[in-house]
């Protein structure tokens, strides 16, 4: 075993925790946590929308979309993480539930896709510097998200 | 790299394996395995039901609910595990399929939610000391579980 | 901490990456990558079909099934990996989406189940030597896969 192999394990662990931290921040409505997940100059694009610049713009967008829901659950996994020195590429799959009570009952809308990320290691640890959400499939009632 | 960082990797691995062990024990109908997953004095609460005390009460409850099914699949992931010395906090998401042949055909009922766990390291390794299942959403035919 | 524990972490990481590599190879239509995932003499069985022998037969089968789709997403997780020296047993759950535009609109078919694998470590690293896909449940429109 080499130092490099062990460092790779630690980096992989740290990055996976960061990706999970995004999901649980959204589902727990902890918008302020996104400042420790994205780099100050990070850019994020949800599907074919415009790029959002910086963690506050991301937080503000997610808040607007998710706040009106009863709850959300961003299940993530199938992590494909490649670390090269102080930078990394990552992709992971998500299946996100969005649940909302409407006049006619409880609506559920599921969105599946991929997060494609670039990351950098800075003084405070790993941060996402670029995230692109690629949507692959949906299920259920889109009214839940409208 | 410090000893502490490597120990954290090992603990994380052991705890993730334990959480997976719960899922595969249930789906493989290996009720006896729950004795090596929960501490003898563990308490478990499924949604708003009463607390179950000890691995045998948990095994007996799960057996009653799952035994009548054709099969179940507890997919778990999005692990958020924090170790502090010999104790740990963990949450993970689940999406559990319940499949059962009824008179009218094969019924499937999916339940999604979060396991919120406390764990302790003892002489035999990590064990869950407290588990709360929080249900978030359902899909399909509830008759599969009745 | 022992050398053996750290080696187990490295092996677990390598095997999980290999299992993820199968999923992303299929979804990215990188059929040629299967040659670095399966051993030359690997055998693979999808449900109750005949055994496929070798990575090229696997690639050719997957290509035929998946190529006609708009997209697929093989979400895998709940990894249960046991390493003993240069061999390993693994099982993991999958939920695979198959999306295809048909005359009547976009059809989606989901298949859930378990991959049961044997693996060996060779000169080039870990490779799957045997994979059995066990199907557990389906959802949606089977026409998407036909």
Q: What is the pLDDT of residues A60-105, one digit of tens each?
A: 999 999 999 999 999 999 999 999 999 999 999 999 999 999 998 9
Query: Of the candidates B126, B115, B120, which has an alpha carbon nearest to the alpha carbon of residue B14?
Result: B126
Q: How many CB atoms lie within 10 A of CB B51?
A: 11
Query: Residue with structure tokens 């046991």?
Result: C82
Residue of A nearest to C23 (CA): A78
Residues from chain C contacting residue B21 (CB–CB below 8 Å): 80
Q: How confident is the model over C72-119, as pLDDT tens digits? A: 999 999 999 999 999 999 999 999 999 999 998 999 999 999 999 999
Q: How far is C134 from C114, CA to CA, in rounded Å? A: 5
Q: How far is C48 from A108, CA to CA, in rounded Å? A: 34
Q: Is B116 left (phi over 0), alpha (psi -120 to 50) or beta?
A: beta
Q: How confident is the model over C14-47, as pLDDT tens digits? A: 999 999 999 999 999 999 999 999 999 999 999 9
Mean pLDDT of A40-69: 97
Q: CA B140 → CA A70, A143, B5, C107, C110, distances in Å?
A: 19, 19, 43, 18, 13
ipTM of the complex: 0.96
Instruction: Give the neighbours of chain B: at least 3 Cβ pairs within 8 Å.
Output: A, C
Is C21 in contact with A80 (Cβ distance < 8 A)? yes
Written as six digits, the tokens of C122 are 């060779």
Assess whether pLDDT exceeds 70 at residue A15: yes
pLDDT band at B104 (very low <50, low <70, confident <90, very high): confident
Percent of chain C with pLDDT over 90: 96
CA B120 remoteness from chain centre:
16
For chain B, the structural domain boundaries read 3-145
Query: Of the candidates C138, C64, C141, which has an alpha carbon nearest to the alpha carbon of residue C101?
Result: C141
Mean pLDDT of B24-35: 98
pLDDT in the model for residue B79: 98
Residue of B nearest to C13 (CA): B13
pLDDT in the model for residue B45: 98
What size, in residues, is chain A? Answer: 146
Written as six digits, the tokens of A4 are 């490099």
Mean pLDDT of A115-128: 97
One-character DSSP codes across B65-76:
HHTTSSEEEEEE
CA C116 remoteness from chain centre:
9
Percent of chain B with pLDDT over 70: 99
Written as six digits, the tokens of B100 are 């059962």
pLDDT band at C1 (very low <50, low <70, confident <90, very high): low
Pick from C78, C93, C139: CB nearest B108: C139
pLDDT in the model for residue A1: 67
pLDDT in the model for residue B2: 85
Q: How many CB atoms lie within 10 A of CB C67?
A: 10
Q: Residues B82, A112, C26, CA angle at the centre, nearest 5°?
A: 95
pLDDT in the model for residue C104: 86
Helix ranges, C67-116 (H): none
Pick from C5, C78, C114: CB nearest B76: C78
C56/chain B closest Cα distance in angstroms: 30
In this complex, how many residue pairs, one in chain A and one in chain B, have their CB atoms less than 8 Å apart? 47
Q: How far is A126 from A2, CA to CA, in rounded Å? A: 22
pLDDT band at B1 (very low <50, low <70, confident <90, very high): low
Helix/strand/coil for C68: coil
Interface test with C, best of A136, A140, A142 (most C CBs within 10 A): A136
Residue A1 makes CB contacts below 8 A (sequence gap 6+) with C3, C6, C7, C10
C105/chain A closest Cα distance in angstroms: 13
Residue ranges of chain C whose CB lies within 8 Å of a chain A CB = 3, 6-7, 9-10, 13, 17, 20-21, 23-24, 71, 73-77, 95, 97, 99, 108, 140
C35/chain B closest Cα distance in angstroms: 28
Residue B135 makes CB contacts below 8 A (sequence gap 6+) with B47, B111, B112, B113
Is C71 in contact with A6 (Cβ distance < 8 A)? no
CATH 3.40.50.300 fits domain B3-145: no
Residue C128 makes CB contacts below 8 A (sequence gap 6+) with C18, C22, C37, C38, C39, C42, C117, C118, C119
């Amino acid at each position: 075993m080499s130092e490099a192999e062990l460092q790779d394990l630690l980096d992989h662990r740290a990055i996976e925790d960061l990706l999970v931290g995004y999901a649980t921040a959204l589902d727990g409505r902890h918008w302020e946590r996104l400042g420790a997940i994205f780099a100050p100059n990070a850019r994020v694009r949800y599907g074919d929308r415009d790029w959002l610049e910086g963690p506050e713009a991301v937080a503000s967008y997610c808040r607007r979309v998710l706040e009106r829901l009863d709850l959300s659950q961003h299940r993530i996994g199938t992590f494909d993480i490649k670390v090269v020195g102080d930078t990394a590429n990552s992709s992971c799959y998500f299946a996100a539930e969005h649940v909302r009570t409407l006049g006619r009952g409880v609506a559920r809308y599921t969105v599946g896709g991929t997060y494609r990320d670039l990351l950098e290691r800075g003084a405070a640890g790993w941060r996402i510097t670029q995230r692109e959400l690629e949507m692959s499939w949906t299920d259920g009632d889109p009214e839940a998200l409208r």
